[in-house]
Structure 1
Amino acid sequence: MTNFMHVDDWQVWQHASRLSELTITERVRVITQLGIETGTDPAKVTPIQIVRWLASHSEWSDSTMCTYHSYLRRWFKWLQAQGLREDDPMVKVGTPRLPEREPRPVSDIHLAKLITTRMHKRTRFAILIACLAGLRVSEIARIKGEDVDLSGPRMRVLGKRGKQQSVAMHPLLVDIAHQMPSRGWWFPANSVRPGEHMLGKSMSQMIGRVMQRAGVPGTPHSLRHWFGTTLLLEGADIRTVQELMRHSSIASTQLYTMVPDKPRHEAIGRLDPFRYKGSGPIGSAA
């Protein structure tokens, strides 16, 4: 429960809309922080208060700023839709420029190092699911035995905004399915939350600890980036990769078509400042 007007109602409304617990928690946290730091109920803040609040957080990255802007827009749109506020202050605040992104996959050598590192069996299974099916950590955490159809073989995935999609299963994942329960959660929570699945944050921490111990840079999401980038490098067409990555827009998939580091380094390495053989050493007098 919060101490601000309508925030609790917004939280309930988001649950009814089947948004993920992580999304709801983050949105409520940011709106509550806005109210605390401005000293004003977040339902009543003015555009200039919002601008000053955002400007006071120079430590936020451009990506974080864009994310928080989106939370604010959704908050005020909801207030308007419920008849709780007439104006939308975000119209006067404006929209920050979305930073250009590029995938950051783990390298092949680091992935091999990670997979061969000693770890719990289920942690290894989670890592293989991430890099061979491209699932996000929150999606891995919610896998149930009932989601797997070995006759396909396919796996049903509960993705962003509660959207359910089926993904093809790699032969290694079929082998994993034979070792996991045919009913119930594959990655159950601990005794604090009996009968529930692991939280996405806990899954991320579990994989992240092994990555750190193995000396593998990046985050668990880098395994999903390896999945998308490697599919394209191995010749899969971009429409197929969009389906496998479950991107709603092909623009998201196009990020994975950026030239990877290896060809860049090879191209740079082929540069020859003495390609005109008749030239003298660099810096020699004419």
Structure 2
Amino acid sequence: MTVAADVDGFLRHVAIERGLSANTVAAYRRDLAVYAAWLDQEGIGDVRQVTPATLSAFAVHLGTREESPLTASSLARMLSTVRGFHRFLLDEGRVEVDASRDLRPPKLPSRLPKAISVEQVSALLAATDGDDVAALRDKALLELMYATGARVSEAVNLNVDDVIDSDIVRLTGKGSKQRIVPLGSYAQEAVSAYLVRARPVLSAKGKATPALFLGMRGARLSRQNVWLIIRAAAERAKLDVEISPHTLRHSFATHLLAGGADVRVVQELLGHSSVATTQIYTLVTADTLRDVYATSHPRAR
């Protein structure tokens, strides 16, 4: 069999047997096209010819090529794809040894989440003030996202029934895992006003849908709509920082920890499967403490 035939077999496996999404399969196809082209360039036409040294050379090639240089995260993703491909070859009996067993991606630099200050969040939310239908919806949306730390996908996938007793919301996260998150008084007020005064108007413009947040034509609000709503609010608030839906999630976690919340409570609220993922926010608050100390303590400088 050729390398191309093995790649096709792997792609069928992940698409049909593992049921991965079309986007994920497409990403695997792109990564393996680069790998197969490099193998062909090296005169390797059969996966049984690949050795650990071959894969090390491929990793070096990816990290040093001048055309279309990869970021560290893209390089790590591509090598992960190649490892998955070789594990598949071993499972299928195409090779006797997994040559990629010791292949490791580069260590990624720690990237701290970008959060904005409490004052900036207040300005952003104030920029959605208004009594018209769009303003009431936008206020409810942003207040809920900041109150719960919801991902943008979680917010747009909310249904009316997911708002429980006005002060609790049920979010469905990655892997269809559900979690219950409380709503603060500001979010409760904004969501209540939207449900009573705005959503019925929007709902009348489209087909019946259980979606909580609706677009101007009555359909479920899209992720792109949320981006535009937040960007417009940030412009009205004259914020000089880049704002995205995830900014509110980062700010939610950072502000909770800065206020003394336990990291494991924040983990549950964010829906992280591991506390290690949440602990990166403790670095943000530690950096904030250092900055305040450096500018405030008479012997800090």
Q: TM-score, normalised by structure 2?
A: 0.69
> Could you report, residue by residue, the CA deviation over 1:156-204 in whole angstroms, capped at 9, with x for unpaired residues?
211112212222222333334432359611235798xx96x4554x255
Residues 37 and 133 of structure 1: CA distance in aligned 2, closer, same or farther (over 3 Å): same
The yes-or-no answer on 1:267 pairing with 2:274 is no
Contact 2:160 2:210 in 1 (8 A): yes
Q: Distance in 1 between matches of 2:178 and 2:89?
A: 29
Contact 2:152 2:246 in 1 (8 A): yes
Contact 2:59 2:79 in 1 (8 A): no
Match of 1:185 in 2: 211
The yes-or-no answer on 1:99 pairing with 2:109 is yes
Contact 1:238 1:253 in 2 (8 A): yes
- Which one has more relative contact order, counting CA pairs under 8 Å at least 6 apart? 1
Residues 85 and 167 of structure 1: CA distance in aligned 2, closer, same or farther (over 3 Å): farther
Match of 2:228 in 1: 206
Contact 1:35 1:41 in 2 (8 A): no
Pick the aligned partner of 2:8 from 5, 10, 13. 5
Name the % identity.
26
Q: Distance in 1 between matches of 2:124 and 2:91?
A: 48
The yes-or-no answer on 1:168 pairing with 2:192 is no
Number of paired residues?
Answer: 262
* Residue pairs, 1:8-47, within 5 angstroms: 8-14=12-18, 16=19, 25=23, 27-40=24-37, 47=55
Pick the aligned partner of 2:157 from 139, 142, 150. 142
Distance apart, 1:61 and its partner CA: 3.2
Instruction: Give unpaired runs (5+ residues) of structure 2.
Output: 40-45, 201-208
Residues 139 and 85 of structure 1: CA distance in aligned 2, closer, same or farther (over 3 Å): farther
Q: Distance in 2 between matches of 1:210 and 1:147?
A: 27
Distance apart, 1:100 and its partner CA: 1.9
Pick the aligned partner of 2:75 from 65, 70, 77. 65
Distance apart, 1:37 and its partner CA: 3.4
Q: Distance in 2 between matches of 1:102 and 1:12?
A: 37
Contact 1:189 1:198 in 2 (8 A): yes
Residues 186 and 147 of structure 1: CA distance in aligned 2, closer, same or farther (over 3 Å): same
Match of 2:205 in 1: none
**Aligned amino acid, residue 61 of structure 2:** R
Q: TM-score, normalised by structure 1?
A: 0.72
Distance apart, 1:208 and its partner CA: 5.0
SS at match of 2:171: strand
RMSD of equivalent CA atoms: 3.9
> Could you report, residue by residue, the CA deviation over 1:227-282 in whole angstroms, capped at 9, with x for unpaired residues?
1111112222222222112221111222222235543233222465899xxxxxxx
Q: Distance in 1 between matches of 2:101 and 2:188?
A: 50
Which is worse superposed, 158-167 or 260-269?
A: 260-269
**Aligned amino acid, residue 25 of structure 2:** V
* Residue pairs, 1:206-285, within 5 angstroms: 206-210=228-232, 213=235, 214-215=238-239, 216-258=241-283, 259-260=285-286, 262-270=288-296
SS at match of 2:261: coil
Contact 1:37 1:53 in 2 (8 A): no
Residues 269 and 190 of structure 1: CA distance in aligned 2, closer, same or farther (over 3 Å): closer
Distance apart, 1:95 and its partner CA: 2.7
* Residue pairs, 1:75-94, within 5 angstroms: 75-77=85-87, 80-81=90-91, 87-94=97-104
Which is worse superposed, 242-251 or 30-39?
A: 30-39
Contact 1:148 1:177 in 2 (8 A): no
SS at match of 1:91: coil
Which is worse superposed, 225-234 or 45-54?
A: 45-54
The yes-or-no answer on 1:52 pairing with 2:61 is yes
Contact 1:63 1:99 in 2 (8 A): no
SS at match of 1:155: strand
Contact 2:128 2:138 in 1 (8 A): no
